Amino acid sequence: MSENGKPVRQAQDKPKLAMYWGAGCGGCEIAVLNIAEKILIVDEVFDIAFFPCIADFKVKDVEGYPDGYIDLCLFDGAIRNSENEEMAQLLRRKSKVLVAFGSCAYEGCIPGLSNLTSKEATLRTVYLDNPTIDNPDGILPQPFYDVPEGTLEIPVFYNTVKSLDQVVDVDYYLPGCPPEPHQIWAVLQVVVAALTQGAALPPSGSIIGAGEVAVCQECSLKKDEKVIERFYRPYEIIPDPTVCLLEQGLMCLGPATRSGCGALCPQVGMGCRGCYGPLAGVEDQGAKMLTAVASVLDVGKPGDDEAELERQLDAAIETIVDPAGTFYRFSMSHSLLRRAKVNGN
Amino acid sequence: MTTKRITIDPITRLEGHGKIEIFLDEAGEVENAYFQIPELRGFEQFCVGRPAEEMPRITNRICGVCPEAHHMAATKALDALYGVEPSSAAKKVREMFYSAFYVTDHTVHFYALGAPDFVLGPTAPAAERNILGVIHKVGTEIGLQVINCRKRNHHVIQMLGGRGVHPVAGMPGGWSQAVTEEMRQEIEGYARENVEFALFSLQLFADVVLANQEYVDLILSDAFTHRTYYMGTVDENNCVNFYDGLIRVVDPDGREFIKYPAQDYAQHIAERVEPWTYLKFPYLKEVGWKGFVDGKDSGVYCTTPLSRLNAADGMATPQAQAAFEKFYETLGSEKVNGRYQPIHHRLATHWARLVELLYAAERMLELVQDPEITDPNVRVTVNTTPTEGIGSVEAPRGTLTHHYQTDENGILTKVNLIVGTTNNYAPIAMSVKKAAQGLIHNGTVITEGLLNTIEMAFRNYDPCMSCATHSLPGQMPLEVVIRDAAGNEVERLRQFV
């Protein structure tokens, strides 16, 4: 018995849950906590086997588990250094079901924008060039460094930010930056039913905890199939809060993005940036968005010659600032592009 | 010569990654301890080329625990970049949103990350030393109070900012949507509950921690004490402010050292690079970097709830002011020239965090009752030409500064970020080493509980390594240092790009 008189939980009887972060921000962990009081049900159903954000287990504990010991492992964060990859391999081995949890693990997310630049430029900016840097000797962090007491080691960073499935086999993908709590809870219920009642799990490789249509189809803003002549920056106009933002000339990735979030951003007057990833059956979210942009842009008037039309179209396209960083805001690592060629990398 | 090495990896219950290496000498005493940050991300570089107005939505991904802080610092940097002053209503909506964030963030830290050490004790079994263990110990009812506090404030964050995590509403010169009377009424109810919850949490701290002499002795022990400079943002009355004000630094004796607007930050702060960690060490330029040492001659400064209280003269709301006075009186601080002397005991940071929790709750209630809060005039159009902008807020883990330069089209050409936890890197490293030296001696058995006590040395800072590791370099080459018997460097071989 524990001190407050409740029976001590039978650790060996419950399914084992792990949650680990690669190169992520911790927002996925916060999103799990945001299932609120249902976290107590998770505590009832599972035993936590590894969850560095909130529980004191160390890597050596995981190494000591038999293979397949963890029933469900939620892996968030991208793969960008040797430690992330080693942990992904360790947790793959120790887990029956491995979920790429959130946009980073699924498709690289914001950190994947690093694939648009080079390691040299990053090192220069971070350690040598910034306005507050005091580094006259040009010191850079080193994977192995001898201090008087011994050698200190830090992980080796990769050139390219990778998604989880680019380093290990992944059973399921749960999109979103971060996934919305109601979707997390829906997925946990499916897994719990499978583990405790023998219900069927979705087919391996499925995208879970998301819809099958575009964000536009769950967005309440009014669409009139209106076309536009140019795009505006978000601060250049005050949009009608009841009308489709794209049809008012504000960039919105709703047409190219999988539903599941409830179209949250457009409801507060800000365009979607695509964090739920590409539509079902679409490999490249950015290419799909280009198509959507083409269908909403309409320039010229009857009688304009071809050269004039081309000039006007170019001018309209010019009003889309930073297309690569916008159309691939979340999906760079997993896109056909994967990374830009910079300095021969 | 070193005979033994102890590694704690990963450090748990902090947001992100971290590793501590402790080296013992032949006598079994601590020779040195290193707190290494094994991860970096590339925000300062990969944001270059992005449109500046996207920064509130990009930099919040630096940290999912405090995305609201990056969102707000970025939004304020955009105000400066475009030279546009938000309306009074827009500022109040932002600050109300920010207060709700502070309530939930300080609650998470205290109950999920800090409380296990006190409620369960630093030597409790690892499997119980977490938030669920706390709930098992103190009862589901209190656990539900904590859960409900988070739930209602994340709901407010979503209502005002668009999303519960990674909000989107911040714009140059304002906020993307106004507060309706219906929203206002709902938020007012939550704000009242927050004040009650903060008072309850302070009482819980008094009952569980202050009533236990063993814990009080631990808080006051030399192993967890450092005399450094302290930084925090203050209002026109030198009271703590999270959203806006001047940045004030006090010396270890509590005297004002500097007070400056955020745009002057580079005149006062510099960052040092060490080869054994990916994180930089900021320090006070006017004092200079003297290594990992305490005192007035060392430029090391600290930016935590304790630091903000030490840097301010008081709190701007009545109940928080009373809690502030009780904090200093109980810990034996005396007033000099009308100011309490700084408290240097790092474990008192947990208590200071609860004083701030009460302030955030009271401030949220003040704002939601302000007649201007439902003024629809919060979003503006901007047509100025941008060049450079600097914005700062108090993140829960310290002063957070965003600095942008752009071309005339508002495309970023340079980004510098000094984030909350990074400010505290040197003091955390010092605290870890001192705690190790105080607790590990010849013949001492290294039990897991002892190592957790060392982790407590950094956990009070609530370090958020997601925040701190906002840069991602590529693969890095090896460096070899050759030393003679006395430890002097004789040759350094470096293979770099």
Across the interface, of B131, B137, B416, the residue whose CB is closest to A131 is B416
Side-chain-side CA neighbours of residue B86 (13 Å): 30
Q: What are phi and psi of A43, to 5 degrees?
A: -65, -35
Residue A199, min C-alpha distance to chain B (Å): 28
Within a domain: A339 = no
Beta strands in chain A (DSSP E): 16-21, 47-50, 70-76, 79-81, 95-101, 133-134, 144-147, 150-153, 157-162, 172-174
Q: Is A6 on the interface with B (CB under 8 A)?
A: yes
| A127, A226: one domain | no
Across the interface, of A11, A140, A269, the residue whose CB is closest to B496 is A140
Contact B432, B402 (CB under 8 A): no
Q: Is B416 on the interface with A (CB under 8 A)?
A: yes
| A35, A178: one domain | yes
Give the residue on A whose Cα is nearest the Cα of B176. Answer: A269
| A150, A168: one domain | no
Distance CA B359, CA B317 (A): 6
Interface of A with B in 256-275 (CB under 8 A): 264-265, 267-270, 273, 275
Contacts of B165 (CB under 8 A, 6+ apart): A27, A30, A31, A34, A178, B64, B67, B154
Provide the pLDDT for residue B473.
26
Which of B135 and A160 is assigned the larger pLDDT? A160
User: Per residue in A100-156, pLDDT tens?
Assistant: 999 999 999 999 999 999 888 888 899 999 999 999 999 988 888 888 888 888 877
Give me B49's structure tokens: 């080329």
Residue A57, min C-alpha distance to chain B (Å): 7
Which of A298 and A217 is assigned the larger pLDDT? A217
Question: Concatenated DSSP letters for B2-33?
Answer: EEEEEEE-SPPSSBS--EEEEEEETTS-EEEE
Contact A76, A102 (CB under 8 A): yes
Residues of A in contact with B82 (CB under 8 A): 235
Provide the pLDDT for residue A343.
44
Contacts of B96 (CB under 8 A, 6+ apart): B160, B179, B187, B364, B367, B368, B373
Contacts of A12 (CB under 8 A, 6+ apart): none
Within a domain: A94 = yes
The total of other beta-carbon atoms located within 10 Å of residue A214's CB is: 23
Interface of B with A in 289-328 (CB under 8 A): 289
| A77, A124: one domain | no
| A318, A233: one domain | yes
Residues of A in contact with B23 (CB under 8 A): 149-150
Within a domain: A6 = no
The total of other beta-carbon atoms located within 10 Å of residue B133's CB is: 22
Across the interface, of A121, A134, A140, the residue whose CB is closest to B275 is A140
Q: Is B261 on the interface with A (CB under 8 A)?
A: no
Q: Is B343 on the interface with A (CB under 8 A)?
A: no
Residues of B in contact with A236 (CB under 8 A): 381-383
| A16, A129: one domain | no
Which of B444 and A197 is assigned the larger pLDDT? A197
Residue range A18-22: mean pLDDT, rounded: 90
Q: Which of B54, B142, B377 to mutate to test the interface with A (most CBs of A within 10 A)?
A: B54
Contact A154 B416 (CB under 8 A): no
Provide the pLDDT for residue B149.
94
Contact B400, B70 (CB under 8 A): yes
Q: What is the dihedral of CA A116, A161, A275, B418, to 10 degrees?
A: -80
Residues of A in contact with B452 (CB under 8 A): 56
| A151, A167: one domain | no
Confidence of residue A249 (pLDDT cuts 50, 70, 90): very high
Residues of B in contact with A219 (CB under 8 A): none
Across the interface, of B67, B171, B416, the residue whose CB is closest to A235 is B171
CATH number of the domain enclosing A55: 3.40.50.700
SS3 percent helix, strand, coil of chain A, rounded to 5, is 35, 15, 45
Residue A53, min C-alpha distance to chain B (Å): 5
SS3 percent helix, strand, coil of chain B, rounded to 5, is 45, 20, 35
Contacts of A203 (CB under 8 A, 6+ apart): none
Q: Which of B3, B39, B113, B171 to mutate to test the interface with A (most CBs of A within 10 A)?
A: B39
Within a domain: A194 = yes
Side-chain-side CA neighbours of residue B356 (13 Å): 36
Question: Which residue has tokens 């005493």?
Answer: B29
Interface of A with B in 183-222 (CB under 8 A): none
Contact B158 A264 (CB under 8 A): yes
Q: Is A155 on the interface with B (CB under 8 A)?
A: yes
Over 60: is that where the pLDDT of A17 sits?
A: yes
CB pairs under 8 A between A and B: 345
**End-to-end Cα separation, chain A, in angstroms:** 60
Give me B54's structure tokens: 């996207």
Residue B236, min C-alpha distance to chain A (Å): 27
Provide the pLDDT for residue B429.
87
Of A289, A271, A285, A280, nearest to A332 by C-alpha is A285
Within a domain: A334 = no
Over 90: is that where the pLDDT of A59 sits?
A: no
Residues of A in contact with B177 (CB under 8 A): 241, 268-269
Q: What is the average pLDDT value for chain A, to the nearest integer? A: 88
Contacts of A344 (CB under 8 A, 6+ apart): none
Question: Concatenated DSSP letters for B321-386?
Answer: HHHHHHHHHHTT--EETTEEPPP-BGGGHHHHHHHHHHHHHHHHHHHHT-GGGG-STT-----PPP
Q: What are phi and psi of B49, to 5 degrees?
A: 100, -15
Provide the pLDDT for residue B258.
98
Q: pTM, whole model, 2 decimals?
A: 0.91
| A262, A314: one domain | yes
Number of domains in chain A: 3
Q: Is A44 on the interface with B (CB under 8 A)?
A: no
Paired residues of B4 in beta bridges: B24
Within a domain: A149 = yes
Contact A120 B474 (CB under 8 A): yes
Across the interface, of A30, A59, A152, the residue whose CB is closest to B276 is A152
> Using alpha carbons only, what angle is made at residue A98 by residues A97 and A101, rounded to the nearest 5 degrees?
130
Provide the pLDDT for residue A178.
97
Q: Which residues of chain B have pLDDT under 50?
A: 1, 13-16, 465-497
Share of chain A above pLDDT 70, in %: 94
| A237, A314: one domain | yes
Contact B90, A238 (CB under 8 A): no
Q: Which of A118, A130, A237 to mutate to test the interface with B (most CBs of B within 10 A)?
A: A130
Residues of A in contact with B49 (CB under 8 A): 116-117, 322, 325
Contact B301, B345 (CB under 8 A): no
Residue range A5-21: mean pLDDT, rounded: 67
| Axis crossing angle, helix B140-161 with helix B88-108, rounded to the nearest 10 | 150
10 Å CB burial of residue B112 (0-12, 13-18, 19+) is buried
**End-to-end Cα separation, chain B, in angstroms:** 33
Question: Which residue has tokens 């990916």?
Answer: B278
| A249, A310: one domain | yes
| A34, A52: one domain | yes
Q: Is B420 on the interface with A (CB under 8 A)?
A: no
Provide the pLDDT for residue B306.
96
Residue range A232-245: mean pLDDT, rounded: 96
Within a domain: A248 = yes
Provide the pLDDT for residue B132.
74
Over 90: is that where the pLDDT of A306 sits?
A: no
Looking at this predicted complex, what is its ipTM?
0.92
Distance CA A288, CA A282 (A): 8
Q: Is A43 on the interface with B (CB under 8 A)?
A: yes
Separation of CA B247 from chain center: 15
User: Which residues constitute the domain of residue A138?
Assistant: 118-157
| A131, A182: one domain | no
Provide the pLDDT for residue B497.
22
Within a domain: A332 = no
Q: Which letter does DSSP use for residue A232 in this model?
A: B
Residue range A170-181: mean pLDDT, rounded: 97
